[in-house]
Structure 1
């Protein structure tokens, strides 16, 4: 996901690893072996096991988190002093609640069986809302006898920074104070070394028989078929007090918000039920990951460890779903403009005009024990920012926002031509300024992701192939924006710069020996002559020579690259290929989606289907039909599922957006908001798709509903409704 500073385990197995980056490795150690689910709302999320517990049996990675701090480290239900048995567990259809069905084990007293298992059904539901995790426990006696049952809830807070949870050790930390506030509540307060006081308030309803600092005890007396309910809430507070809210009210508000969002955004439904389930899962996961910020909706990169503001991830996600939800792109651009670097800061790899890579709000970030408080170590976020700003304008005709964002676009262009190109050779490049920064700063930011043909690591400053293409596209889009603002001279200058870059790029990056553009130029301006999926990103931007674009497309769909599930990051023929590697042989859905969009850009529409079918088949074999951040690049075998990458984020924003992105490429979708025109250029409908119904697709001030279906060998569009002058045309 372009966040590999914390997950470079595979890269570090090489003898030339850089040990200082091991500090950011995620610990995968678990105690119970229970599966877990993610619940999230805005800046709060919970990693909770399928029983509804947190931290049971030493599951160290679980917890309820807010702004990179764990506000609840343990929550465990005990029935008759034992863990209940799991009958089943799943997220509800809206992904708002985890619903777990539990029952009691056999209960003995003085060697005699006093309660047979399966007598009590426990329906335990959990959700996260308004900086709180809330649970409802519904007990029903299904036996024919009265039951007296001891029920305990055990809880605690450690206020660990998320990087501590991920495995980092600290020499010093603040202090936790625990205090029983009332007969139904306990308050935990942590004064950090950053002098911020963080609090968790635990509420219980009804009043327990006894309440301690870390446990509550109830005695339930249930007649046959009788039920009882218990409620638990843990509310996180740091700089702002949380709003009081009951379980029922919070859930009702969440459903209302969901229904409103569904009514306001574009919807896609597919006649093929399997694909429809994949699409619904993707849109649901994107909704889960999108946080309401003061700047607008912003897709956080992924859960559990990347539930925060990332630049590159959000920009690519916004681009993937621009046709469905342009408001996301506006929120992303506005937020990144606000946090655009204003000055030089070597520790943060920041220069004026550069766009943010990652932002953290925990104690360790505030104390600079980690470099990611506001960290700018990505070379591609800045050109992508300009590119997305231009694409947003075309999709919305939002000129007022263009006026607002244009100063940030100009500063980004100044960085591209200035600090981004320190030697003035016309290519932007990266080299970290301190040892604490990322050694590689493209989307493949593993320590071993940029290497020469003999396997030796390339030394910087490094000019990545896809980044030059992003710059080319950024300048083309910036020219269009300048024209819109009436600055014709600036527009012409930007187009001339883009053309000069294209010519120089073709000369310096094409490598006939491998029949591909080189992965990069190293610090000595030598070609890094390695085939990579990076080179296929060029098609998306339009910089590639058409004949060479076809050669690249054919390469990435050859068995050397294409596993049957998707396109690998590097082909099996390269020396560092490893299908279990994070960046050197794995399959990334977003990478495939960008490549498929490039096929559409060059009119190679028939080549999109193998990528689409491979990822669809993979998704159908994944848990909950959800594409993860990445999976292993092993060759597809009959009767076998794709092999998972152990610590891949799921859900993850640009993975969730991938199938939606490829679907728009299949349809040849182009939106011109100024003319309120929706164009479908050479659309393709594979058998795996069937008919597609799209509602409320916006084009400027208009929108349209239409159905696409196959008729003989052609695709036809049936426009069922049109508003505000929107037009749907086939081309």
Structure 2
């Protein structure tokens, strides 16, 4: 369990780094929009870095960052300036990179020429995917070296990778690009006081041609699934107007952050679950997801219901010293990366926590008090009974009325409460 015994505080992402989140996917980049493998940056999908290099150069020179902001948790805008070919300080070319995160990323690159003369631009978008495990990136120790095959074809570049029988793939595409083994190349001349744009996408793929899921909305006039979920979240939360602007801003930010931390149970797309935190903990946790649900249940019991249902589906049924699973126990964390699967014998859930199981019972009680449907309570009640059995039979090892803990193997978490 790489990184689980290390300091769990996320490592520094670098000054000016911009983080986007959408479900369990996230993206960390520099202020100019570039993703460089020397930093803990990248696009992450299912706890794997599917993009480790995403760097734009114009006429062989990187962009000078001018500003960056995030209009939504899953959207980022980066403004940069293209350097002069002769090394001069002033440049008439500015570059706008509008990025949207989903199952991969989509980016609209626009170059504005504010000069009096046409400007020739050679754009090189360098691309790489090391498919490193999230914990490898977080800890700064990427160990697995995947065998890569790069297949440029027309305006697309596909990267296939293999490591000990496990396959990963990603497809990068842009209309009009010249694809090469290192990335995508564009050549254009932009008239004076004009602009040029291109839309680039990078998505994980399964099999030979099919993408895993639609990345984003294709037509610009449609509303993306990300925006639909965000609007539904905004509509369901009571609005507040306070005389103290500082408190008002804090409540608004809390509402926005909770909305950004929602992830979807893949087996049940209608269920929303609260992740533990951005960027490194955009996953289902026991303690963190339950505590956040307890705090928000007066305003939105649906998050509590989704969290309870998802954790109940993965409630322990057997004794497994490797994953620390025990009958009735509520899990600590779910991870989908290759490294975690190896550490847990091919499984994705780790159960080494003392407090998630009591918190499960607590949240069910709170949700009942705040109006969760009686049918839902009745469905979850047997899971609460099994959780109470775990507290008595496994949590309280010496029968003194208190829950104790001790990890069951030397790879597990030392501190489980």
| Counterpart in the other structure of 1:236 | 204
| Counterpart in the other structure of 2:170 | 200
Which structure carries more helix by proportion? 1
**CA distance change for structure 1 residues 249 and 370 in 2, over 3 Å: closer, same or farther?**
farther
Task: Judge conservation of contact 2:148–2:160 (CA < 8 Å) in 1.
Answer: yes
Task: Establish whether residue 62 from structure 1 lines up as the match of residue 41 from structure 2.
Answer: yes
Pairs within 5 Å for 1:183-262: 183-193=154-164, 195-205=165-175, 207-208=176-177, 210-237=178-205, 241-243=212-214, 245=216, 246=218, 248=220, 252-262=224-234
Task: Establish whether residue 410 from structure 1 lines up as the match of residue 385 from structure 2.
Answer: yes
| Counterpart in the other structure of 1:323 | 298
Task: Judge conservation of contact 2:21–2:73 (CA < 8 Å) in 1.
Answer: no
| Counterpart in the other structure of 1:98 | 76
| Counterpart in the other structure of 1:489 | none
1:278 to 229, 250, 253: 250
1:49 to 26, 30, 35: 30
Give the Cα separation in 2 of the matches to 1:29 and 1:424: 43
**CA distance change for structure 1 residues 440 and 254 in 2, over 3 Å: closer, same or farther?**
closer
SS in structure 1 opposite 2:61? coil
What displacement does 1:252 show? 4.1
**CA distance change for structure 1 residues 372 and 34 in 2, over 3 Å: closer, same or farther?**
farther
Task: Judge conservation of contact 2:263–2:274 (CA < 8 Å) in 1.
Answer: yes
Give the Cα separation in 2 of the matches to 1:66 and 1:252: 18
**1:369-425 CA-partner distances (Å, limit 9, x unpaired):** 799831111101000000000100110141100111011101000011111112212
Pairs within 5 Å for 1:494-643: none
**1:326-384 CA-partner distances (Å, limit 9, x unpaired):** 10000000011011110111122221101000111111122227998311111010000
Q: Tell me which of the two structures has the higher relative contact order, counting C-alpha pairs closer than 8 angstroms and 6 or more residues apart.
A: 2
| Counterpart in the other structure of 1:429 | 404
**1:494-552 CA-partner distances (Å, limit 9, x unpaired):** xxxxxxxxxxxxxxxxxxxxxxxxxxxxxxxxxxxxxxxxxxxxxxxxxxxxxxxxxxx
**CA distance change for structure 1 residues 353 and 25 in 2, over 3 Å: closer, same or farther?**
closer
Give the Cα separation in 1 of the matches to 2:31 and 2:107: 13
| Counterpart in the other structure of 1:368 | 343
**CA distance change for structure 1 residues 281 and 414 in 2, over 3 Å: closer, same or farther?**
same
Rg larger in structure? 1
**CA distance change for structure 1 residues 215 and 174 in 2, over 3 Å: closer, same or farther?**
closer
Task: Judge conservation of contact 2:35–2:54 (CA < 8 Å) in 1.
Answer: yes
Task: Judge conservation of contact 1:25–1:167 (CA < 8 Å) in 2.
Answer: no
Task: Judge conservation of contact 2:119–2:190 (CA < 8 Å) in 1.
Answer: yes
Which structure carries more strand by proportion? 2
Task: Establish whether residue 83 from structure 1 lines up as the match of residue 57 from structure 2.
Answer: no
Task: Judge conservation of contact 2:330–2:387 (CA < 8 Å) in 1.
Answer: yes
Task: Judge conservation of contact 2:22–2:226 (CA < 8 Å) in 1.
Answer: no
Gaps of 5+ in 2: none
Q: TM-score, normalised by structure 2?
A: 0.91
Task: Establish whether residue 290 from structure 1 lines up as the match of residue 280 from structure 2.
Answer: no
SS in structure 1 opposite 2:283? coil
What displacement does 1:243 show? 2.0
What displacement does 1:307 show? 1.3
Aligned length: 410
**CA distance change for structure 1 residues 238 and 377 in 2, over 3 Å: closer, same or farther?**
farther
**CA distance change for structure 1 residues 118 and 278 in 2, over 3 Å: closer, same or farther?**
farther
| Counterpart in the other structure of 2:130 | 158
SS in structure 2 opposite 1:367? helix
| Counterpart in the other structure of 1:128 | 101
Task: Judge conservation of contact 2:21–2:279 (CA < 8 Å) in 1.
Answer: no
Task: Judge conservation of contact 2:323–2:351 (CA < 8 Å) in 1.
Answer: yes
Task: Judge conservation of contact 1:103–1:117 (CA < 8 Å) in 2.
Answer: no
Q: TM-score, normalised by structure 1?
A: 0.53
Give the Cα separation in 2 of the matches to 1:199 and 1:219: 27
Give the Cα separation in 1 of the matches to 2:373 and 2:17: 42
**CA distance change for structure 1 residues 427 and 156 in 2, over 3 Å: closer, same or farther?**
same
| Counterpart in the other structure of 2:362 | 387
Task: Establish whether residue 339 from structure 1 lines up as the match of residue 339 from structure 2.
Answer: no
Task: Establish whether residue 141 from structure 1 lines up as the match of residue 119 from structure 2.
Answer: no
Could you say what the CA RMSD is over the residues aligned between the two structures, in angstroms? 2.5
**CA distance change for structure 1 residues 251 and 216 in 2, over 3 Å: closer, same or farther?**
farther
**CA distance change for structure 1 residues 382 and 390 in 2, over 3 Å: closer, same or farther?**
same
| Counterpart in the other structure of 1:508 | none
**CA distance change for structure 1 residues 230 and 384 in 2, over 3 Å: closer, same or farther?**
same
Task: Judge conservation of contact 2:104–2:215 (CA < 8 Å) in 1.
Answer: no
Give the Cα separation in 2 of the matches to 1:307 and 1:166: 13
SS in structure 2 opposite 1:270? coil
**CA distance change for structure 1 residues 36 and 249 in 2, over 3 Å: closer, same or farther?**
farther
**1:34-90 CA-partner distances (Å, limit 9, x unpaired):** 4212212122111122211111xx533101011111111100011121111111111
SS in structure 2 opposite 1:268? coil
Give the Cα separation in 2 of the matches to 1:187 and 1:166: 26
Give the Cα separation in 1 of the matches to 2:45 and 2:219: 19
**CA distance change for structure 1 residues 202 and 242 in 2, over 3 Å: closer, same or farther?**
same
